[in-house]
Amino acid sequence: MIILGIETSCDETAASIVVDGSEILSSVVSSQVDVHHKYGGVVPELASRKHIEDIVPIVKEAVSKAGINFKQIDALAVTQGPGLIGSLIVGFAFAKSFAYTLGIPWIGVNHLEGHINSVFLESNPPVFPFVSLLVSGGHTSVYYVKNHTNIELMGQTRDDAAGEAFDKVSKAIGFGYPGGTIIDRLAKDGDPSKIIFPRAYLDKFGFDFSFSGIKTSVNRYLQTHNNEYKNQIADIVAGFQEAVVDVLSCKVLNAAIKMDCDHISIVGGVAANSRLRERAKLDAEPKGIKVYIPSVDLCGDNAAMIAATGYYYLKDGKSSDINDDVYSRIKNISTKPMDRSGPRI
């Protein structure tokens, strides 16, 4: 089944052609970083307008790079939510009308399920059931993944997402948006043990997160070291990054042990972080747990993960209806809280 995937939930316009949910023929991502950089974050109205400009050329480019024509597309998958409403509407309305014109089925996909399924676009994916840590700019959650479409929430952030913390710390230091890649690069020259920031484990045996405290703690450090912090940037960001990575790695391992899983995946924009990729493996392997992290291109928002997720629903005979609409907040993935008591590791 040849599926055209479309993703416009935030500040990337993306289109991709994927065969049978696993073989990527093309994946085109047009970033809006240049539009939003000077504002220090994504401006929703500007994002929607840019999606409108980019959607047609990006879809054309994805189809042409895949070496197919429109008539060969069997179905369409598009992000339905969560995300910025104005941005989602652009991709969703385009997908509806395009599928209607071609006379093919289409399906609205949950962006978070897209990230979780991104790991199946790589060879040797994890085996069900496994535990997945989703770390992005808008979400930080741990899931118990029973299959491609049956995914249970184990815990989530109570305030900021991990990516949001990276972005806010970058902004406070004066590097701006998007912060994750900048901090990742600068931290390589720093010593993570020189400036220690607090680790918010909350209930150490539960799976909820909190990242607003560490951001405040970095801000306080910058204020109280106003004269010297400019010479300590690498150590500050390395210390901050290590604190975030410590908590993420500990929680996902705790969750895997609790659910008796020996496979975990880490997905979403922050999964591109080089220290997180390294640490998760260092921590997990001695415990006999295998870590699966997609290649960096598949960590950030992309449409291949949307096409792949759409495939699993369409294969089960599901499709969307012309009256369906986008949603801004989490839907579909079970939000039923699980038993919080976990083992000590």
Kindly list the residues in this chain that would bind ligand KG4 in the complex (CB under 6 A): 10, 136-138, 163-164, 166-167, 178-181, 184, 268-270, 272-273, 300-301
Nearer to ligand KG4, 136 or 217 (CB): 136
Q: Which of 3, 36, 43 is nearest to 19 (CA)?
A: 3
Question: Which span sits near Zn ion by CB under 5 A: 36-44, 89-97, 159-167, 294-302?
Answer: 294-302
Nearer to Zn ion, 99 or 298 (CB): 298
When asked if residue 132 is in the footprint of Zn ion (CB under 5 A), the reply is no
* Residues 139-158 contacting Zn ion, CB under 5 A: none
Binding partner of residue 320 among Zn ion, ligand KG4, none, CB cut-off 5 to 8 Å per kind: none
When asked if residue 301 is in the footprint of Zn ion (CB under 5 A), the reply is yes
When asked if residue 249 is in the footprint of Zn ion (CB under 5 A), the reply is no
23-31/12-19 β-pairing: antiparallel
Binding partner of residue 197 among Zn ion, ligand KG4, none, CB cut-off 5 to 8 Å per kind: none
Q: How far is the CB of 274 from ligand KG4 (least distance, A)?
A: 6
Residue 338 structure tokens: 């699980």
Cβ atoms of 75 and 1 closer than 8 Å: yes
Nearer to Zn ion, 115 or 258 (CB): 115
Nearer to ligand KG4, 162 or 256 (CB): 162
Q: How far is the CB of 68 from ligand KG4 (least distance, A)?
A: 27
Q: Hey, what long-range contacts does 185-189 have (CB within 8 A, 24 or more apart)?
A: 186/233, 186/234, 186/237, 186/238, 187/234, 187/237, 187/238, 187/240, 187/241, 187/275, 188/238, 188/274, 189/234, 189/238
Q: What's the Cα-to-Cα distance from 305 to each of 54, 79, 190, 194, 308, rounded to whole Å?
A: 19, 10, 34, 39, 5
